[in-house]
Amino acid sequence: MWVYVARRLLLAVPIALGVTVICFGLVFLAPGDPLASLIPGDVSPADLAKMRQLYGFDKPIPVQYALWLGRAVTGDLGVSLQTGRPVLAEVTGAIGNTFVIASGAVLLAFSLAFILGTVAAYHVGRPADRLATAAAVLGVSIPNYWLGIVLIIVFAVKLNILPATGMGSKGSTSFNILDWAQAKYAVLPIITMAMVPLGIIMRTTRSAVAEVLNQDFVQMLRAKGLGPVAILRHSVRNALPQMLAVMGLQLGYLVGGSILIETVFTWPGTGFLLNKAILTRDIPVIQGTILVLALNFVAINLAVDLIQTAVDPRIKRT
Amino acid sequence: MSDRGITIADLPDVPENPAALRVRSYWQTVRYRLRYDYVTLFFLAVLALVLMTALLAPELAPFDPTKTSTINRMKPIGYRDFLLGTDELGRDMLSRLLWGGRASLTMGCGPVALATLIGGFLGIVAGFIGGRVNMAIMRIMDVFYAFPSVLLAVAISGILGGGMANGMIALTLVFIPPICRVAESATTQVRNLDFVEAARASGAPALSLILHHVLGNVLAPIFIYASSLVSVSILLASGLSFLGLGVAPPTADWGLMLSTLRAALYVQPLVCALPGAAILIVSLSFNLVSDGLRRAMDVKA
């Protein structure tokens, strides 16, 4: 197993490097001079030439990449053109907020998907299965940015029981999920975000549990006279690692893809930051946010693989 | 409905003449299975209808989709001649929804089609040649896999700047890696089969091996996988327009309409919900039709 862990860790290195190459290359996709997109517009030509030298834009591109990577590794992702603050501080300030709703959404999705998926697996082909499967398809088909708007209409505008947008009191830096006055702001974003993972985890659960139920040892348990609850305990235990792996991957997708939902709910996370940066063409912030989110996704994938190897002895990986 | 993995089509017909048992061809079997899959057929009809209305938008739309009117802003559903009300600039919603279907369907289906061509080509090449070429292509794809799809699409179109063409480029890049992976694994499986080996041994050149022996066997899984991406693509494309990164105003597009109507959320909530409902119907239909085709064509997920 340790050989696998070492190999998997080593495998993540070229992927992470590739991610940095793409993020570095993004600046060159921007129309116009890459340097001009990194600094404010009202700079004199003399200063621009100085900056070009300082940032190394007069050097060949591979050298530029090495210099940029060197700075990025030390946490220097440039400075926001809008706020003048370091990009890293902007991103780290926002990513916690994204994790709040993303982890809430994954937990909600997992608990619902667990119930729906298990029920469906026990009734394959019967109405309960059809209904649960239909719910799963609906979950992955619904445009969640639209669902967010509909939920705002119903719960904020019509019923007026939940706040529509924002993250509670202005300027508060810490988010306390146990304080309802604050937590209620997270309810609608979490529900909206949970839809896609709900559909995907439910499908995985259904097929994983149904597969276990078809195995010989379940026949054996039945023959021994075990009741449905005891059989459920055995089958879920066997299906759980796969479900947890999907859940982990979904967390990665949600944290990286939060832009639409955070825009709908003006939730001040990384997606909101990214959207703001795109609207104002704040290239350093776009680049930095994407780099952090993509590396975070690589790290979550790595963690999921390693945890799965650790908890599931059936997976013999070398 | 074949959730149990076996359908009526799998059972042999009672032969009229037992001596000559008629064997159905693959495509006959697929058609036979689809004929009794009413859910798939229904949503296929829905898709056909949506496609028709989008194509015939110039004929069907009662008003000019870009003509604004200050006095007719934000009218409710059924107000005078406006069957589905008007938007925040007084434009007829029905006309905009019909025209919007064109932009949304183009931006949703176009990238998948392009990515199927490019990703399919790369995947078949990687799988057929194998070795270092395979390594090179697939490792590059792995890097793109390290980005959540929404993030990659937003990153590319955000940097390139908005616009429908840039949005479609971004989405095409998002879908190339997954399609390439499916094509590669399907090709790797097929190329090691005996009949390909036999053809190779009899001196068939690589191109004819690919065209005659590999292509026919990998197209079904590639096609099925690509069809399952259309729904995702429609959602992503509308999402980009929603963020202002896709179709530019005043062109009608469902995602863009949803975004501009947000300002009017408190005035006419029902009208604001319409474009999203259109996206939902199309994405749901594509999902269910793709699932139905997968079952009918008997391709593993």
- Per-residue pLDDT tens digits for A300-317: 988 888 888 887 777 666
Q: What is the pLDDT of residue A39?
A: 67
Whether the pLDDT of residue B1 is over 50: the answer is no
User: What's the mean pLDDT in A268-280?
Assistant: 88
Q: Is B229 on the interface with A (CB under 8 A)?
A: no
Looking at residue A158, its pLDDT comes to 80
Residue in B143, B160, B287 nearest the CB of A29:
B160
Confidence grade of residue B284 (pLDDT, cut at 50, 70, 90): very high
Per-residue pLDDT at A245: 86
What local confidence, expressed as pLDDT, does residue B125 receive? 92
Q: Which residue has the higher pLDDT, A11 or B120?
A: B120
Across residues B28-56, what is the average pLDDT? Answer: 87
Per-residue model confidence (pLDDT) at position B231: 92
* pLDDT tens sequence across B172-210: 999 999 999 999 999 988 888 888 888 888 888 888 888
Q: Which residue of B has its CA nearest to A156?
A: B266
Predicted confidence at residue B10, as pLDDT, reads 58
Q: Measured at the alpha carbon of residue A68, what is the angle toward residues A66 and A73, in degrees to the nearest 5?
A: 95
Q: Is B46 on the interface with A (CB under 8 A)?
A: no
- A58 φ/ψ sector (left φ>0, alpha ψ -120 to 50, else beta): alpha
Query: Is the CB of A274 less than 8 angstroms away from the CB of B158?
Result: yes
Q: Which residue in the set A129, A140, A297 is minimally distant from B146, CB to CB?
A: A297
A contact residues 9-38, partner B, Cβ 8 Å cutoff: 14-16, 18-19, 21-22, 26-27, 29-31
Structure confidence at residue A55 (pLDDT)? 67
pLDDT one-digit tens code per residue, A108-136: 999 999 889 988 888 888 888 888 888 88
* Neighboring chain A residues of B275 at a CB cutoff of 8 Å: 146
B214-256, pLDDT tens digit by residue?
Answer: 888 888 889 989 998 999 999 999 999 888 887 777 777 888 8
Mean pLDDT, chain A, rounded, equals 83
pLDDT confidence band for B7 (50 / 70 / 90)? low
Q: pTM of the full predicted structure? A: 0.85
Residue B151 distance to chain A (closest CA, Å)? 5
Q: Do A278 and B265 touch (CB under 8 A)?
A: no
- Judge whether residue B2 has pLDDT over 60: no
Contact between A252 and A301 under an 8 Å Cβ cutoff? The reply is yes
Confidence of residue A169 (pLDDT cuts 50, 70, 90): low
**Range with lowest mean pLDDT among A40-49, A243-252, B291-300:** A40-49
User: B32 touching A, CB under 8 A?
Assistant: no
Q: For A77-112, what is each residue's pLDDT tens digit?
A: 887 877 778 888 888 888 888 888 899 999 999 999
Query: Is ipTM strictly over 0.90?
Result: no
> Where would I find the H helices in chain A?
2-29, 34-38, 45-54, 61-73, 87-122, 127-141, 144-151, 180-213, 216-224, 228-256, 259-264, 270-279, 283-311
pLDDT value at position B20?
A: 59
Closest by Cβ to A141, choosing from B3, B258, B280: B280
What pLDDT, on a 0 to 100 scale, did the predictor assign at position B48? 92
Find the largest Cα–Cα distance for chain A. Answer: 86
- Our CA angle for B139, B140, B142, nearest 5°, is 60
Q: Which residues of A touch B284 (CB under 8 A)?
A: 137-138, 141-142
Query: Closest Cα of chain A to B104: distance in Å?
Result: 13
Higher-confidence residue of B283 and B192: namely B283
Q: Is the pLDDT of residue B267 over 70?
A: yes
Q: Largest Cα–Cα distance in chain B?
A: 78
Which residues of B fall within a CB distance of 8 Å from A279?
244
Kindly determine whether residue A294 and residue B147, on different chains, have CB atoms separated by under 8 Å: yes
Q: What pLDDT score does A241 carry? A: 83
- Give how far the C-alpha of residue A259 lies from the chain's centroid of Cα atoms, to the nearest Å: 10
Helix boundaries (H) for chain B: 26-35, 38-55, 57-60, 93-129, 131-145, 149-160, 164-191, 194-201, 206-208, 215-242, 254-261, 269-297
Enumerate the residues of chain B whose CB falls inside 8 A of the CB of residue A129. Answer: 3
